[in-house]
Amino acid sequence: MEHEIIVYHNPRCSKSRQALSFLDQKGLDYKIIEYLKNPVSEQELKLILKKLRINAASLIRKGEDDFKQNFKGKNLTEQEWVLAMVNFPKLMERPIVIKGNKAVIARPYDRIETLL
């Protein structure tokens, strides 16, 4: 059985919309999770990081106001970065596309090819 494709999506993000368009052009079914409306849990985020094979700090959007106002210049632990993204979901890089035990940050969108 083929693994479901899951996209952590922000509809206001052009890169996120490009990723969905790419999947549509390939004729692939996927599930959208609008993570700003339905924030990820701590456990879910840790699983995403494991599938991405990166640490939490690598998933942080350092240009976001939430980062600049609350975290810039701070040296946080892995757990503290995870909790930061749980509490401030805009900090998460996007879009994240998952299939099975693998995931990519789809910037650029054609990185999704590595999952197919």
Q: Give residue-wise pLDDT tens across range 13-36.
A: 999 999 999 999 999 999 999 999
Q: Between 42-52 and 78-87, two packed helices, what is the crossing angle to 10 degrees? A: 120
Q: Give residue-wise pLDDT tens across range 1-18.
A: 457 999 999 999 999 999
pLDDT value for 2? 58
Cα(51)–Cα(81) distance, integer angstroms: 17
CA 109 → CA 47, 63, 85, distances in Å? 21, 20, 22
Overall average pLDDT of the 58-74 stretch: 96
Query: pTM of the predicted model, to two decimals?
Result: 0.94
Tally of CB atoms within 10 A around 74: 10
**Average pLDDT of the chain to the nearest whole number:** 96
Query: Class of the 5-115 domain?
Result: alpha beta
pLDDT value for 1? 40
| Confidence band of 55 (pLDDT split at 50, 70, 90) | very high
Selection from 43, 53, 50, 57 nearest residue 92 by Cα:
57
pLDDT value for 113? 96
Domain coordinates of the chain in residue numbers? 5-115
Q: Give residue-wise pLDDT tens across range 78-92.
A: 999 999 999 999 999
Q: Is 100 left (phi over 0), alpha (psi -120 to 50) or beta?
A: left
Cα(105)–Cα(19) distance, integer angstroms: 10
- Given a contact cutoff of 8 angstroms between Cβ atoms, the answer to whether 19 and 7 are in contact is yes
The residues that are catalytic are 13
Q: Give residue-wise pLDDT tens across range 93-113.
A: 999 999 999 999 999 999 999
